[in-house]
A and B are shown apart, each in its own frame.
Chain A
Amino acid sequence: MLGKERCREVLKKALEYSKANHTEAKLVGENFNLTRFANSTIHQNMNRVLSQLQVRVIFGNKMGVATTNNFDDESIKQVVQRATLLAKVSEGNLAFKAFPKASNYNEVNNYYETTANYSAEQRAEDIATIVKHADDFGFSAFGAHITTQDELAIMNTDGVDVYDLSTYAYLRTVVEGPNGTGYADQLNRDVSKIDADEIGKEAAKRCNMSQNPQSIPTGEYEVVFLPYAVADIVRFPAYIGFGGQPFEEGRSYMAKKMGEKIMGDNISIWDDAYNENTLNVPFDAEGVAKKKVDIINNGVASNVVYSYVTAKKYDKEPTGHSSFRRGSNYEIASNLVMQGGSSSVEEMIKSTKKGLLVTRFHYTHCPEPGKVVMTGTTRDGLFYIEDGEVKHSVKNMRLTDSVLDMLSNVDMISKDRKLQRDWWSTFTSYLPAIHVTNVNWTGSTLF
C-alpha cells in the first residue's frame, strides 16, 4: 500500500520514462489480513502488504506489458524498458491505438476506517465468539476472518488519472458436530456491520439441525435455495455468458440466445457497481467508469459486459468491466444484483410439499457450457421438507441440472437479499433465496 500521493508519483514517473505513443501505468496494492481457524484453534494468521506496478505501452498498433513490485527509479525505468522491448517484438494487430480517455466517475463510498484499523486481536476476539457458540453444543468451529484494504491507481497519457482506496471484511464459519456441519458467513465493506455473534449462532444452530442425516432417493425435488447456494447457481451463467469476449466470439450460450427468453419472467439480473449492497467500485482495471448493465431482463438475454479491449475490437462501447483478476483482455460482471421478490424463506418452506432446503454447495462445475449444466454437491446443511415443514437433515447430494432450466422454474423469490460470494469466491453478488419447482439430483454422498 503506497497511498494516493506515492501512487501518483510512481505512475507519473512511469509515464515520463516512456517514449511510447501511448502509455498506461497501473498500481494495484493491498494490505491483506487473514486469520484462519480450524478445530476451534487459530492455525494460520497473516498480514501482507503488496503493491504491483503494471506498465502498458503502445507504439503504433503494437503493445507490450511488464510488471514489477519494486518502485525505485531504476526499477520503474526498467519496467518501462521491458514493456517497450516486448511491444517491439509484438505484432501490429491492436484494435485500439490509444488507451481509454477519462470518464465521468461517480463518487462511491467503499472505504471504512473501522475495517482498515481492525487488528489481529480483534479478529481473534470475533473468532473466540464463534468458538463459544460451537462449544455450547459441544461442536468445533472452522473458518476464516479477512479484513483488508485495496488500492487501485491508474494513469495514462490519454487523460485517465484515478485512484480508489477500498476495504472489505469477510467472516465465515463451518461448525462441525459428530454427524453433520452448519455454515454461516457475512461480507461487508465495513467490519462493524459484521456480527460474529450472529454468524456463530446461525452456524451452530444449523449444525445442530444437521446431525444424524438420512439418505433419500435421487431424482426430482422442489428446492429452497438459500442465498449461499444461489451464488453458485448464478455464477455459471455469469462466468460462461455475461462477458463480451465469449459473446463476440460466438462461444457462449448468450451468443445464440441474445434477445430471447432464457429464464423465467421473474428473473432479472444486472450489474451495478454503484449499488452499496455490492462491493462497489467507481471504475474498472483500465480506468473506465463503471456502467450499470441489464443482463437478464425479465428472463430475456439482454446485454453482456465489455472491457475496453474487447469493446474496441468489436466496435462496442466499453461498460467498465475489465477484470482485476484475469487481466484487461477479460471482462467480468463483478457486481451482480438479482431482483428480489416478495416472499421469505419461511414462506417457501411452508409452500413446499416434498422437497429440499439447500444451504450451500461445494466445488461446483459446468460439464455442458452450451446448456449451462451445473453439477455440485451440497454441504453444511441439507434438509428434507414435507408438507411445509423441515422434517430432518439429509446426507449431502449431487445436483446436476441446467441453470437455465432451474431459473425458468422459480416460483418464489425472497424479499431479503444478501451480499454473497460463491464457494470459490469467483463472484460477489447481491442475491435472494429462491424456490425452484423441480431440480434434478443425480447422486448421494455418505455424510
Chain B
Amino acid sequence: MQDLFRKALEEAENLGASYADVRLVDRKKQPIMIKNGKVDAISLSESKGVGVRVMVNGAWGFSACAQITEKKLLETVKEAVAIARASARVQAKPIDLKPIEGVKDYYKTPHQKDPFDMDVKEQIDFLKDLDEELRVNDDVKNSMTRLHAVKQHKLFMSTEGHEIEQDLLETGVGIAATAIGNGDVQRRQYQDAITGGFEFLEESYPFSQDRDLSEIANDLSNEASALLTADTCPILEGDLILGGEMLALQIHESCGHPIELDRVLGYEASFAGTSFLTTEKQGNFMYGSEDVNLFIDATLPRGLGSFGYDDEGVKAQRTQIVKEGLFLDYLTSRETASMIGQESNGTCLAEGFSNLPMVRMTNVNIEPGDWSLEEIIKDTDHGIFMESSKSWSLDDKRLNFHFGSEIAYEIKDGEKVRMLKNPAYTAMTPEFWGSCDAVASQEEWHVWGLPSCAKGEPVQIAHVGHGATPARFKNIKMGVGH
C-alpha cells in the first residue's frame, strides 16, 4: 500500500501540486440494537477507500475512491488536481500552508476486549440484560439498548514525508426507557462511549456513585415513570446546577463549537454557523468566571476524541483554551492556524476516507474544581438541578442558547424537594459561563463520549469527548417558556 501511495504522491507533484496527502481508512461498524427485549437490528458495515487532498496554486482539491488500484488511484489524483485548479478561480489569496516535518509512527488504541473479537451472542445477552432493567417499571412501554462498536485502520502519507499508521477502536452504549401514561410520554436515556474495548461496559463508574450500567438502566426506568406525574419545571430565574452529563453537552455546544477556528473564519457561515469568539478576542476576552478552566486534549486515556495523529499528520496534544475565565486559544488545522500566526494543535479530522478533513473537536473539557455535587446542592437556597440533554438550540454565532433536559429536581434550602419534568434553560454564552461559581471535583469528573457531532457539508459525524463534572450557574432563566 505504501508503494502505491508513494506513486500517487509523485503523480500529484508531477501534475503541479505543491502539497498532497493520501489517506486510507478501512472502517468496520457493528451496531446491535435491542428493543423491548428483542434483537431489533444487528449488522456489520465495512467501508474502505482512499481520500486524496492536493494543493495547486494555493487552492485545495479533494477526491476519493473506493477501488484501491493503481489506475483508479492515479485517476483520483488527477481529479483532485483538476478540482484544485477550479478552486483557484475564485480565491482572494492563496492558502499559506507552512511546511512541517514528516513523521513515521504507529499508534494503537489501548484496550483489553475488542468487541469485534467477541462472540456476538455474548454481546446480545449483555444488552438484553440491560434492556430488561430498563423495563422493570410497568410504565415503561418502550426500551432501547444499542451497542456502539467502531474499528478503523488508517494510513496517512504526504509529500512532506509522513507515513503514519493507526489502529483505532471505540466501544460504547446507548440505553433509553420511554414511559407512557397519565396523558404524557417521558424518556430517560444514557449514552457513553470511549476509545477502548468492551471492558468499559462491564465496569462500575466512580463518577456515577459507583453504579454499573445495569443499575443505571434500573434507575432510568423508574425515573421515566416518575416523570409522568412530576410537576412541570416552572418559569423562574435562579441557580442552575447541571449534572456532569448535561454539562458535557453544554461544553460541546457553547465552547467546543465556538472555538473551531474554521468556524470563526467563516468557513461554516452558510451552514453550521460562525462564532462569537472572533480572533481579536484571543487572549483578552473573559469567556467565563475565574472558576472556568477549559482545555482540549486528544491524549486523554479512553477519551472518545483521543487518537495518535490527526488527519494532517499532526500529533495529538493538549491546549489550554480558557484559563481562569480568560479565552486563550482555538481548535486549529494547519491552514487555519497559519492565518492567526500559529501552528496546528492537531484537530483536523475527517469522517471515513471520502470526506475532507476539517477542524473538529477532540476531547474538550472543563478542569475539575473542589466542590462535590452534594456540597453544591447543600449550598443552594433555591435552584434547579438538571441532568441529561433533551434539546439544544443556539444562534449562528453560538451566543444565545436554549437547552432542554430530561429530568430536574427543585432545590430548596440545600435539599432536593421535588422532581420536575420538561426542564429547560436559556442564556447568552459568556454571561452563562461568567455566572459559574462552583465546579465539582475530580471524583465526579468523567470524559463523556459523544459519537454524534455533526458539522460540514456533506455532514460529517465526529466522535468526540467532553471531560465534565457537575457545576453551578447563578441567575439563569429556566423553564421552556423563557
> A residues touching B (Cβ–Cβ < 8 Å)?
32, 34-52, 64-70, 79, 82-83, 85-86, 89-91, 93, 119-121, 123-125, 127-128, 131, 140, 142-144, 146, 172-174, 176, 249-251, 256, 327, 329, 362-370, 373, 375-377, 379, 396, 398, 400, 425, 442-447
**Measured between alpha carbons, how far is A123 from B86 in the docked complex, in Å?**
9
Residues of A within 8 A of B153 (CB): none
- Contact in complex: A367, B42 (CB < 8 Å): no
* Shortest beta-carbon contacts, A-B, top 9: A367-B404, A120-B86, A65-B43, A377-B395, A142-B269, A46-B62, A367-B391, A365-B391, A365-B393
Residues of A within 8 A of B396 (CB): 362-363, 377, 379, 396
Residues 57-97 of B contacting A (Cβ, < 8 Å): 59-66, 79-80, 82-84, 86-93
Interface string of B263-292 (1 = CB under 8 A from A): 001111111010010000000000000000
- Judged by a CB distance under 8 angstroms, whether B390 is at the interface is yes
Residues of A within 8 A of B120 (CB): 85-86, 89
Pairs across A and B, CB under 8 Å, 18 listed: A36-B267, A41-B92, A42-B91, A43-B60, A44-B267, A46-B64, A64-B43, A65-B41, A70-B46, A89-B120, A89-B121, A120-B82, A144-B270, A327-B41, A329-B41, A364-B393, A375-B393, A379-B395
**Measured between alpha carbons, how far is A124 from B356 in the docked complex, in Å?**
18
Q: How far is the CB of A328 from chain B (nearest CB, A)?
A: 9
**Measured between alpha carbons, how far is A93 from B131 in the docked complex, in Å?**
16
- Contact in complex: B356, A46 (CB < 8 Å): yes
- Judged by a CB distance under 8 angstroms, whether B184 is at the interface is yes
- Contact in complex: A90, B42 (CB < 8 Å): yes
Residues of A within 8 A of B273 (CB): 362-363, 379
Category for how many chain B residues contact A = 35 or more
Residues of B within 8 A of A173 (CB): 270
- Contact in complex: B392, A365 (CB < 8 Å): yes
With beta carbons under 8 angstroms apart, the residue of B62, B184, B269, B395 that contacts A363 is: B395
- Contact in complex: B64, A48 (CB < 8 Å): yes
- Contact in complex: B480, A396 (CB < 8 Å): no
Q: Please, which residue of chain A has its CB at the minimum distance from the CB of B426?
A: A443
Q: How far is the CB of B354 from chain A (nearest CB, A)?
A: 4
Residues of A within 8 A of B59 (CB): 42, 45
- Contact in complex: B86, A121 (CB < 8 Å): yes
Residues of A within 8 A of B42 (CB): 64-65, 86, 89-90
Q: How far is the CB of A146 from chain B (nearest CB, A)?
A: 8
Residues 319-357 of B contacting A (Cβ, < 8 Å): 354-356
Q: How far is the CB of B17 from chain A (nearest CB, A)?
A: 14
Residues 100-153 of B contacting A (Cβ, < 8 Å): 120-121, 124, 141-142
- Contact in complex: A447, B397 (CB < 8 Å): yes
- Contact in complex: B44, A442 (CB < 8 Å): no
Residues of A within 8 A of B44 (CB): 65-67, 82-83, 86
**Measured between alpha carbons, how far is A172 from B271 in the docked complex, in Å?**
9
- Contact in complex: A400, B402 (CB < 8 Å): yes
Interface string of B443-482 (1 = CB under 8 A from A): 0000000000000011100000000000000000000111
With beta carbons under 8 angstroms apart, the residue of B41, B46, B457, B481 that contacts A36 is: B457
Q: Please, which residue of chain B has its CB at the minimum distance from the CB of A440?
A: B481
- Contact in complex: A251, B178 (CB < 8 Å): yes
- Judged by a CB distance under 8 angstroms, whether B236 is at the interface is no
Q: How far is the CB of A39 from chain B (nearest CB, A)?
A: 5
**Residue of A123, A327, A398 most packed against chain B (CB within 10 A):** A398
- Judged by a CB distance under 8 angstroms, whether B422 is at the interface is yes
Given contact pairs A124-B90, A443-B426, A443-B482, a sample of 15 additional A-B residue pairs in the complex whose CB atoms are under 8 Å apart? A35-B86, A40-B92, A46-B61, A50-B64, A86-B42, A91-B39, A125-B89, A142-B266, A250-B185, A376-B393, A377-B393, A396-B396, A398-B426, A400-B482, A442-B482
A38-B458 CB under 8 A given contacts A250-B141, A377-B400:
no
Q: Please, which residue of chain A has its CB at the minimum distance from the CB of B396?
A: A362
Residues of B within 8 A of A119 (CB): 86
Q: Please, which residue of chain B has its CB at the minimum distance from the CB of A36?
A: B457
**Measured between alpha carbons, how far is A102 from B64 in the docked complex, in Å?**
35
With beta carbons under 8 angstroms apart, the residue of A51, A93, A144, A366 that contacts B391 is: A366
- Judged by a CB distance under 8 angstroms, whether B394 is at the interface is yes
- Contact in complex: A375, B402 (CB < 8 Å): yes
Residues of B within 8 A of A32 (CB): 458
**Residue of B49, B392, B457 most packed against chain A (CB within 10 A):** B457
Q: Please, which residue of chain A has its CB at the minimum distance from the CB of B392?
A: A365
Residues of B within 8 A of A37 (CB): 90
- Judged by a CB distance under 8 angstroms, whether B376 is at the interface is no
Q: How far is the CB of B476 from chain A (nearest CB, A)?
A: 13
- Contact in complex: B270, A124 (CB < 8 Å): no
A445-B86 CB under 8 A given contacts A45-B62, A69-B46:
no
